[in-house]
Structure 1
Amino acid sequence: MGKKKKEEKKEKARKKEHAAIGPADVSGAIVQAARSIRTVLSRNLLSSGLYAGQDGVMLALAEGGGMTAGALAARLGVKAPTMTRTIGRLEAQGFVERRPDTTDGRLTVVDLTRAGSDSLEKIAQACDLSERQALEGLSEKEVRTLLKLLRTVDGNLRGVVVQDGDKAVAEEF
């Protein structure tokens, strides 16, 4: 086969490869991967008595200390009514408690209870197991590349320019 024929064949293969990616393929794959890891994480959290979404609240409280429901909602990117329901469930399970803010009595602060603090190690183990399952078969370099690509996609969607890990805020949604 001549050089020109090989080049034409390569070009056809390249066009076919790009044409095979439809407009919803990337977003569909990202959404499906997110759902799958969330399902696996939910399954891995069962032994700690937590449900999907509750782990994020617990980890945010562990990292940031006592927070208002509004601050938690903003930090986790959920609506206030959703956060209020989640806090109510966590409180009923004995993982968190609500108390008046020490500086502003009009505010209520949510904080981890002893049982909540004790469950943090189980949450970390469930997250670690889920991540290991999700990344099985990928090299460290591939994982770094995946993280970079996902951060770029997220930044694009948030209106943030991301370059080599540095973020320049353009417009937040």
Structure 2
Amino acid sequence: MRPLITTIREKDEVAGFLAWPGDFDLDRGDHIEEVHLASGAVLEGFAGDGAGGTYFFCGDGGEERPVLYADSEGGAALVALGLPELLRLLLVAPWWRDCRAFTAEESAESAAGYLEDMPDLAVRRDRAAAALGLDLPTEAEVLARLRKVATEVGKGFVLVFTPENEPYDLLIKG
């Protein structure tokens, strides 16, 4: 199977959708602070957002590795178990950072703003998903999965600010 990162880099429409509204850019993988995982596992920055946040692969392996997101304000959370899961989140609910309560109402309110700015969001999302070979879950499913990954599986993925040996705050609380 072709690496998803390669597909993103080669398909302008996919990269464009992930850049906006997904706020995900493969050219922003350098985190502004020196960090490590408390477990000592490998941490590899591979993408970022416009506000200084970074997506990291955790552990050894390829695109199937867990993905941790760290914002520029000292918050971090495990957001996906592999790149395909992260891409589904970014495609279905690019406003996930605004959904701290994980309710349908909160998500609908955030989505409304995106749809106002981009009325063809669903069409563009579906074309990007097809190019990536991904089936898309519902918005409720993707947000429920994010919450579960962050609050249950994510307990074992503590990001530490290396110079002060201080853990980042939990970005998503259970």
TM-score, length-normalised on structure 1?
0.31
Question: Bigger relative contact order, structure 1 or 2, given CA contacts below 8 A and separation 6+?
Answer: 2
The structure with the largest strand share of the pair is: 2
Q: Give the TM-score normalised by the residue count of structure 2.
A: 0.30
Higher percent of residues as helix? 1
